[in-house]
Structure 1
Amino acid sequence: MWPLQQLVQFRAVYEHDSLSAAARALGMSQPALSHSLSKLEARVGGALFQRHTRSLRPTELARALYKQAGRVLDEVAGLDLLVARFHEGRSGLVRIGCGPFAPDILGQSLAGPLRREGSGIRLDLHADQFDALQEGLYAYRYDFLVYDRPQLETLADQADTVVQPLRHLPLRVVAPAAWVRGEKEPVGEDPAAARAFMARMPWALPIVPMEYRQRLSPWFQALLEQRKGAEYQMAAISSCLALCRAGQAITVAPDLLIEADIASGHLLTLPLDTGVRVDVSACRLRSHPLSDAAARVWQLLVKGGDSPWR
C-alpha cells in the first residue's frame, strides 16, 4: 500500500524544486520532509532528485512517479469531493450542469413542485460549454447534467451513463404584442411579412454553442449574417425574454417559458421556423450515487406523474 502522505510531500518537493519551500508550503519542518523523501526513495529503489546549489533537479524516475502520483492524488481528491457533495445533497443542495436553455426551464419548472413539497431542496444551476460540463460531471462537481441529447450521447463512457429524454422543445420567435398589432402587414400570420418585420426590429439572443447556430433555418442564418448578429447578446434566455417583455427586442424561446405571456396577450409568436429544436435530456453517472435530494429532483424530471416536464 502506497502511503498517500508521502506522495503529497513528494509532489510538493517536485513542484517547488526546493525542500525548504516545500516544507513551508506543507507546514512541516525541513528535516522531517527530508526524512520522508528518503523513505520514499528507499521504497522506489532509486534517487528522486539530484541536489544542486539552490534547487533540486528531478530524476527520470521522479518525472515518471510525478505523473502517476498526480493521477492517484487527483482520484483521492475526487473521492473527497464525492463524499462532500453527498452530504451536501442530504442537506438539500443539488448541483446541475446545464445547457444554454436549461437553467431558466429548470428553475421555472421545478420551483413549484419543490415548494409544495417543502423539502428544503435547493438547486445550484450552472450553465457552461459542453466540454466543461462533461469534465465537471466526471469530477463529481455535478449531480447530473441537463443538456441537448445528441451532445450527451457523445460522452466518453456510455456504459457508465444514464441518459433520460425529458422534452422536445422547439424555439419560437416571439415579439412584443404591441409591436405586432401596430404593423399594417399581417406579421402574426404571414411568414414573409414576419421576416421583413424581424429585419427591421432589434433582437435579443442568448449566447449559445456553435452546434445550435448550425441548426438554424437558412433564412435565420442569412438574416443573422446580414445584421451581423443580434443587438443584445445575453447570457441567459430569461434576460432575452425580459427585454422582449419590456418592449425592447424580439427573441426566441421555448413554449414552456412563454405560455403565460402568450395567454395574457403580452407577447405573440411569429409564424416562423427557427430550425432549432432542443431535445432536452438528463444525464447521470451510474458510478455516482445520488443523494436523497438529487434523487428526488431526478425523479421529478423523469418519472412522469407530477413532473413539470410531462
Structure 2
Amino acid sequence: MKLDERHLVQLAAVVQAGGVTEGAAALGISQPAISRTLSQLEKRLGEPLFVRGKRPLVPTQLGKALAEHGQIILSASRAASEVIDSFRRGTSGVVRVGGSPFFMDGLIARMIAGFQDRYPDISVEQSYGYLTELRALLQSGRIDVAVCPVDVLDEGSGLEFSEILPGRNVVACSSTHPLLIKRKPTSGDLLEYPWIAPPPGSPLLADLRSILHSLGVAEIKIRFSGGSLASVLNYMTASNALTVLPHSVVFAFRKEGQITALPINIPHPDRSLGLLRLSAAPRIPAVDAFAGHIAEAFADLGQLIKRHEQAIVWGA
C-alpha cells in the first residue's frame, strides 16, 4: 500500500505534540485540515491511529509505527530547509578557490582559516595556478573565484577583477644575510651572491628580469629554481641566496624572523593582486562571503604592509 508522505508527516507532528491542534500549529497548517488527513488515513488503512477517548492523544501500535516513519521524513525536511536557509544566508556551502602558489601559501591559507572560524559550515577547496590556468578554470566552472595578480584583462574576457593589494616586490634574503650590514647595497653587491629563480610561469620570473635590467645586471647566478614557497624559504634561510618576492609574502613571515627584504629600490610590477570571478556566473552566497572576507582582511593588511615598507624597505 502506497501512502502519501505528507500524511505520515502530519501524523508524526500530532503524535509528537500530543494533540491535533498542537500538531497543526507545529506544521503551520489548520486544525481542520490535519483532522481530515488523519480521518482519511484511518479509512484508507481500516485501522485506528489513536486510542479512543485518551487525552492527550495516545497512538495505537500501528499509529506509533507510522508516526516514526513520518518523523524521519519530517526531520529530513526540516534539515533540508535549514540547508537552504543557511545556503541563502551564505553560512554554508562550498567555495572552490584557485590562486597563485606563493600568495596562497604565504597569505591566503591563513585567511581561509580565519574565514572558517566565522563560517564553520563552509568548506573550501583550494587549487593552484597562474593567470592563464586560473582563467581556464573559471571559464570551465571548476573554481568559483581566483586570487591572483593581474595587469590587464582582455576586453570581452567575461571576467571581473577586484583589486585587493597593489603589486609591490622586494629583494628577499635571510635575516642574517651579509648585505644587511650595508645601508645601501648596490647592483654589484647583488652579483656576489647566488639567486633563487621563481617557478616557471610565475609573474615573479618576469619581475626578476625587469629588476636585473633596472639594475644594469645582465646575468646572475641561479642556484635554485622551481621550488614551492616553503622550499624557497627553507633554502633561503639556510644560505646567502637572494630572490624576488611580493612584499606582502615577506611581511607575512616577519614574525618568524628568518627572512627580510634588502633596503634596495627596485621597479614594482604594473599589476595588482585581486579577486577574479566570472561575470556571468550565478552568485553563490558562500562565495560572496568568502570574497568579502578576503577583501576585508587585505584592507587591514594593506595599511600594515605600507608602514612596514616605509620602515624596512628604504627608498622603495
Within-5 A mapping of 1:138-287: 138-151=139-152, 153-154=153-154, 156-157=156-157, 160-180=158-178, 187-192=181-186, 195-209=187-201, 212-215=204-207, 216-219=210-213, 223=217, 225-227=218-220, 230-247=222-239, 249-259=241-251, 261-262=253-254, 265-277=257-269, 278-287=271-280
Give the partner amino acid of 2:115.
Answer: L
Task: State the match for 2:135 in structure 1.
Answer: 134
What is the identity, as a one-letter code, of the residue corresponding to 1:258? V
Shift of 1:131: 2.6
Q: Return the alpha-carbon distance in structure 2 between the equivalents of residues 135 and 222 of structure 1.
A: 37
- Measure, in 2, the Cα distance between the counterparts of 1:309 and 1:293: 24
Report the TM-score, using the length of structure 2 for normalisation: 0.55
Give how far 1:156 is off. 3.7
Q: Residue type of the partner of 1:123?
A: V
Q: Using a 3 Å threshold, how does the CA distance of structure 1 residues 295 and 130 change in structure 2: closer, same or farther?
A: same
1:260 CA drift (Å):
5.9
What is aligned with 1:293? 286
- In structure 1, the partner of 2:111 is 110
| Counterparts of 2:215 and 2:202, CA distance in 1 | 12
* Partner in structure 2 of residue 67 of structure 1: none
Q: Distance in 2 between matches of 1:100 and 1:274?
A: 23
Gaps of 5+ in 2: 1-86, 304-316
Indicate if the aligned counterparts of 2:91 and 2:119 stay in contact, CA closer than 8 A.
no
Residues 267/213 of structure 1: CA separation in 2 closer, same or farther (3 Å cut): closer
1:95 paired residue number: 96
Q: Structure 1, residues 108-140: CA drift from partner, whole Å, max 9, x if none?
A: 441442243252434333332433322221111
Query: Does the 8 Å CA contact 2:111/2:297 hold for their aligned counterparts?
Result: no
Counterpart residue number, 2:314: none
RMSD: 3.5
CA distance in 1, matches of 2:165, 2:97: 17
**What residue in structure 2 maps to residue 18 of structure 1?**
none
What SS class does the counterpart of residue 296 from structure 1 fall into? Answer: helix
Distance in 1 between residues matched to 2:91 and 2:112, nearest whole Å: 19
**The structure with more radius of gyration:** 2
Do 2:103 and 2:249's aligned partners in 1 also have CA atoms closer than 8 Å?
no
- How many residue pairs were aligned? 213
By how many angstroms is 1:241 displaced? 1.9
- Displacement of 1:282 after TM fit? 1.0
Structure 1: runs of 5 or more not aligned = 1-85
Cα deviations across residues 142-172 of structure 1 (Å, max 9, x unaligned)? 1022222324x22643xx4322111013111
CA distance in 2, matches of 1:246, 1:293: 41
Contact 1:206 1:237 in 2 (8 A): no
1:302 matched to 2:295: yes
